[in-house]
Amino acid sequence: MAEIGFYHLTRSSAEQALPRLLGLTLEAGHRALVLCRDQARVQQIDEALWQAPEPSWLPHGTAKIGHAALQPIWIAPAPGADGVVEAPNKASYLFLLDGVAAGLDGFERAFDLFDGADEQSVAAARQRWSALKAAGHRLAYWRQDSKGWSRAG
């Protein structure tokens, strides 16, 4: 079972918070798969990672760039209706943006980043939490504070 962290974005957007979390992932020696709602969002996240001030460089790729096996971070649109996730870069960490739900098989950790200013996003995150808890996953709730993240549950 994957360990799943729910990251409640209260001070920044996913584009602002994601680079730091991905930087820590790479520092820990892991590869990441970032799943977005659609191809347009993949492009937004790709651009945000290239422009991130810190860490100053996050090696990553998309289907447009190719060479998935060489990319420590791979950004892709959400899986189809079956929810089966393929990690072409052999990622062990899965980042879910935009309320994307996906199968967790083969991942050590999953990070569900959701917008705290949007009540629909918060309600959907609560539903995902309940379903994953019922399935027996280890869950943690993280909330942004003035210095970074605080574990609240």
Q: The whole model's pTM is what?
A: 0.95
The tens digit of pLDDT for each residue in 28-51 reads: 999 999 999 999 999 999 999 999
- Domain extent listing, the chain: 8-111+128-141
The tens digit of pLDDT for each residue in 92-121 reads: 999 999 999 898 989 999 999 999 888 999
Number of Cβ atoms within 10 Å of the Cβ of 151: 9
CA 153 to chain centre: 19
Helix 14-27 with 39-51: angle, nearest 10 deg:
70
CATH of domain 8-111+128-141: 3.40.50.10110
Query: Residue 153 above 70 pLDDT?
Result: no
